[in-house]
Amino acid sequence: MNYRIFPPEELLDVEIKLPLSKSISNRALIVNALAAGSKPLADVAVCDDTSVLQKALASDSDEINIGAAGTAMRFLTAYLAVAEGRETVLDGSERMRCRPIAPLVDALRSLGAEIEYLGQTGFPPLRIKGKKLNGGSVSIDSGVSSQYISALMMIAPTMTGGLSINLTGEAISLPYIHLTVSIMEQFGAKATFEGNVITIGAGQYSAPDNFSVEADWSAASYWYEIQALTCGWTALDGLVENSAQGDCKIAEMFRQLGVESSFESNPVRAHLEATPELTPRFEADLTDNPDVAQTIAVTCAMLGVPFRLSGLRSLRIKETDRIAALGAELLKVGILLATEQLEGDEIISWDGVRRPLTEIPSFDTYDDHRMAMALAPVAVFIPGIIVRNAEVVSKSYPEFWNHLRAGGFTIEEADGEGTIAALILLAALTVTGVLLYLFDRRSDVGNNGYEPDSSAAPKEDACCGMHITCEKDSLLSSVSSEIEYYDDEELDTYAGKAPEDYSPGEIEEFREILLTLLPHDIAGWARSLHLRGISLPAQVRDELILIVSEARAGLNTKTDA
């Protein structure tokens, strides 16, 4: 199933009920299955990964195929190794047969587990004979996947002498290990994590009376991306501010990309609001947060913000080689990623230089849910993009496309993607050219491509491309003369001004322009202001929302009639 995507025509103003965390759900399912007299957990994530694990735990078959669910493969390998009296063949998709499992198998074997490779050594499928393990001490490389470590941790209480896990190498995704400790403790286990040693005592899990799963921060990252690329307001239900999920760090990261977060506890909810505050260059070590690499890279690329992301060595062994896939797909929007390896680390970067866009991109997703969701918001700047095999989002966020529709995106099936109508193509190129021209102007940087040259005199032609007076400079002048521009260049003097700092006369300037616009033009104008670094006065913002809301209500009334 391929989808063609168009951006919202109005200002973004949406409330989303995020999916529950699959990281918490999958750990809780394993621990609950090991607990004495436990009942099925009432409320866990609804997605392919969690469903696969639930079915496997409920099955008494001697053959289990977990498809592309990497978490299930690792957790079940450990779980089945301590399932006394049971022999099981554990297999997966063709891609799963290429994802390494040897570090976990080696650690389990050193503790007495009976596991046999049925194909290539070091990779699934596996034949596992469950038995009681004595425990003791084991060492494992912590620089490949934290899920190997979490898998060992969760079965440790079943071992006669408990388990001490010595982490070697430079650890990645440490927050996920702390998350595992937290969930185990909620089910009665005793675990400590000090230095590079995790110590877990022998004992019996007991299911808590009121265990609950919070909303998924990884899923929230795509709404942070959408908020950064548009303007308006987004509410995310169920998102906990001080979460044990490692990806909660995106709130801090996206502050550099123009998104402010505020949280409330009753009900639990996050509010996102776009600001004009953009860093001139984004750098981050994603060792603890590799799953948001695609989201951040695409966001920076579309905003015209040069970036350098390190700590990505685990991306090569995910659902796909995410570094290679990201490089191939961003090239379709004129972004050439640089990759480097440094002391065992994988790094990607972009110098801010954009290549010409010659066609509407059709993005491949590589059977990777995160590729699909990270690339979909590109439609904000390139209306009519196509995301191939869009159904892959069911792995972690089955309602993603429906939620995009709720946010105002138009999503159409694109079976005939090779014959896009010329009118749609021209319209998309028109909007694309204006916005990409804007970002190139906004991210005007020095000769090294990274640092802004604050001492340089303003360029006579350094214009955003979205005013009537900029038409002569637009990249689109040779493409179409039917382009809408906003006659508001006088507002450029307010770039960087806070919403509450406007004088009554300045507020009136915004109001006069607002009143000249049709309701369906308002979102584009607000986006233009945002991308030029101009904040709306608070009073005008309220009026803008009212106009859009009334127009939307009128449209709904006509539809109902």
pLDDT digits (tens, 9 = 90+) for 236-254: 999 999 999 999 999 999 9
For residue range 465-513, list pLDDT tens digits in order.
333 333 323 222 222 233 344 667 888 888 888 888 899 999 999 888 8
Asked if the model's pLDDT at residue 173 lies above 50, the reply is: yes
Rounded Cα distance between 25 and 46, Å, is: 9
> What pLDDT, on a 0 to 100 scale, did the predictor assign at position 531?
64
Average pLDDT over residues 122-132: 97
* Selection from 85, 90, 83, 81 nearest residue 110 by Cα: 81
Asked if the model's pLDDT at residue 442 lies above 70, the reply is: no
Among candidate residues 91, 216, 291, 488, the one labeled active-site is 291
Is 60 known to be catalytic? no
Crossing angle (nearest 10°) for helices 504-514 and 538-560: 20
Rounded Cα distance between 200 and 215, Å, is: 28
Asked if the model's pLDDT at residue 338 lies above 90, the reply is: yes
Asked if the model's pLDDT at residue 5 lies above 90, the reply is: yes
Judge contact between 259 and 272, C-beta under 8 A. yes
Band of pLDDT at residue 165, cut at 50, 70 and 90: very high
Band of pLDDT at residue 545, cut at 50, 70 and 90: low
One-letter amino acid at 517 equals L
| CB neighbour burial string for 121-130, b if at least 16 within 10 angstroms, e if fewer | eebbbbbbbb
Q: Considering only residues 170 and 469, tell me which one the structure prediction assigns the higher pLDDT.
A: 170
Parallel, antiparallel, or unpaired: how do β-strands 87-91 and 63-65 relate? parallel
User: Cα separations (Å) of 367 from 308, 325, 348, 371, 558?
Assistant: 26, 11, 21, 8, 41
